[in-house]
Structures are given as C-alpha cells and as structure tokens.
Amino acid sequence: MDIEADVIEFKVPTENNKTLFIWAILPTLPEAFIYESICGIFSGFGALYLVKVCPNAAVAEPGFYAIVKYYSSAQASKAQRATDGKSLFQESPLKVRLCTRQNPAFSSEVRPLSNSKCQELANRYLGFNGWSSRIITRNAVPVLPCCVKLQDLSGGDDGRSDTETQALALKFGCIVELAFPPPLQLPGGGRGRGVLPEPSGPFGGVFETRKT
C-alpha cells in the first residue's frame, strides 16, 4: 500500500494553495453553528491554521462565506475535492475553491508560529508525549515608560483624587526550543524567538516559536 508523505512546516502558511474559500452558506444559519461545523468537517482532512466566517458584503445576496487555511497544500486540495458541491451542514450545496488571490493580511514573509500553534501541531502529529519544550533564554526588553492614573483616597471633596505617575511596562524576549524524538529530531531542535507583550506574571505571556 502506498503511503503519502507530506511536509508540515512550523510557520504561518501564506500560500494560496493552502487556503480554501467557501461560499453559498445560507443566511438562516447561526454564525457560531457555521464556524463549529466548518471546524469539525475540515479538520478531518488535516490541521487547520485558521477558520474565519464572515457575512456577505451588502451588495451580495444575504448569507455567509468562510476562509479555511491549512498548513499543507495536499490536505487543502483533498478537502476541496471532497467537499465542493456537498451540502455538509445545510440543505443546499456549498461551493469550495482553492483561493487564487493573495490575502494582503498574509505576506510572503516567513512568520513564526505562536507557541500555542506549535504545540497544537506537535500534539496532532506526534501525540502529547511525542515532544517536549523548554525556554533557553529570557531577556528583558527595554520599553518606553507609560502614564498610569492612580486614585488617591485622601484628597478631594469626596475624599478621592486622581494623579498620574510613570510606570514601566515589562516585556520579555524569549527563545523556546521544541525537541522531537528520533527519527524526527533535527540538529538544534526547533527554536524560535518572540516577545511577551502583556505578561500576567513574572513568566506569563505567549511565546513566538519557530522550527528551524
């Protein structure tokens, strides 16, 4: 039996051949139901990077359209062939096509995946015990101070007054490594860099991670 092999890259997919455009979605369906239905059906063909459901433009007929973005062009093509012209979750058939226009939101620049997306991919293809991660370095990133309004309960007619003070917004730059077991392990493992914009604690936030 022939086994099809595909390369899944740990980066934000920007290619047209990884993106499906779905339209002819009935206006009577709740948007949340459409989103959940599309996620459930199209995730059966491969890992999804993005699912977006939007109402049609005012100049078009009432209804919805959806964008589904895969990490794999082969999986996107297989999903298109299997779902185009099928009713799936509604009474009338859907139209599913591979995108032919480049979305301005997805440039040709290689962008790293977020840590959560990397973990999602690793869990899908390797299982929860098939990989590990660790923080290699963590450095403070200098940022401009910001003004914070504080309330002083001892001043004013009502016992309160507002004052402004300078506060330093903390940010951290991190390098995170994803390690894969043999035979998937590569020299240096999978590494990435990123900034924690709003840490919830000394080590809180989201790491931007890239496989190299």
Residue-wise pLDDT for 117-166, tens only, equals: 888 888 888 777 767 777 777 666 655 555 555 555 555 555 555 555 55
151 and 182 housed in the same domain: yes
Q: Give the DSSP H or E segment for 74.
A: helix 73-83
* Whether pLDDT at 38 is above 70: yes
176 and 94 housed in the same domain: no
Give the DSSP letter string of 122-186.
HHHHH-TTS-EEEEEEEEE-----EEEEEEETTSSTTS-EEEEEEEPPP-EEEEEEEE--TTT--
171 pLDDT tier (thresholds 50, 70, 90): low
- What token pair was written down for 58? 């005012």
Residue 65 CA neighbour count, 13 Å, CB half: 14
3-state secondary structure of 120: helix
* Whether pLDDT at 75 is above 80: yes
What pLDDT, on a 0 to 100 scale, did the predictor assign at position 150? 52
Q: Is the dihedral of CA 122, 191, 189, 17 positive or negative?
A: positive
Residue 2 lies in a domain: no
139 and 76 housed in the same domain: no
What pLDDT, on a 0 to 100 scale, did the predictor assign at position 32? 96
Count of Cβ atoms closer than 10 Å to residue 156 Cβ:
11
Range of the domain at 50: 16-98
pTM value > 0.75: no
Residue 53 lies in a domain: yes
Q: Give the DSSP H or E segment for 211.
A: none
* Whether pLDDT at 209 is above 50: no
183 pLDDT tier (thresholds 50, 70, 90): low
> Which residues partner with 55 through β-bridges?
64
Q: What is the dihedral of CA 29, 65, 7, 46, to 10 degrees?
A: 10
For residue 48, give every residue at least 6 positions away whose Cβ sits within 8 Å of its Cβ, in sequence order, or none: 39, 42, 68, 69, 70
90 and 27 housed in the same domain: yes
Residue 107 lies in a domain: no
Residue 200 lies in a domain: yes
194 and 154 housed in the same domain: yes
Q: What's the whole-number average pLDDT of the chain?
A: 75
Q: How far is CA 174 from the centre of its chain?
A: 19
CATH of the domain at 51: 3.30.70.330
DSSP single-letter state for residue 104: T
* Whether pLDDT at 97 is above 90: yes
- What token pair was written down for 150? 């504080």
DSSP single-letter state for residue 98: E
> Which residues partner with 195 through β-bridges?
173
Q: How far apart are CA 159 and CA 145, in angstroms?
A: 29
205 and 125 housed in the same domain: yes
93 and 142 housed in the same domain: no
Q: How many domains does the chain have?
A: 2
Q: Are strands 113-114 and 208-209 parallel, antiparallel or unpaired?
A: antiparallel
